[in-house]
């Protein structure tokens, strides 16, 4: 989880302004334990992008579970 946040902070600081977009893709986790972990990681990444990096909430798109595998 911390690695994901660190990567986001390193990769997006120059791009983080109102016109930037981010796409978070979280695949099918499998069991209930992993579902909770994936959901927490996805949400924490979204919160960092919006709260700390200045992305507009409507510019952060999350595809998870079945949405991540649709064509």
- Could you tell me the residue ranges of all domains in the chain? 2-69
Record the pTM.
0.67
Over the stretch 28-54, which tens digit does the pLDDT of each residue have? 778 888 889 888 999 999 999 999 988
- pLDDT at 1 (0 to 100): 62
Secondary structure in 3-state letters for the chain: CHHHHHHHHHHCCCCCCCCCCEEEEECCCCCHHHHHHHHHHHHHHHHHHHHHCCCCHHHEEEEECHHHHCC
């Amino acid at each position: 989880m911390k690695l994901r946040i660190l990567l986001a902070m390193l990769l997006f600081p120059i791009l983080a302004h109102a016109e930037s977009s981010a796409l978070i893709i979280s695949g099918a986790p499998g069991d209930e334990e992993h579902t909770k972990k994936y959901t927490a990681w996805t949400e924490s990444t979204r919160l960092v992008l919006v709260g700390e990096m200045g992305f507009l909430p409507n510019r952060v798109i999350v595809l998870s579970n079945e949405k991540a595998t649709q064509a």
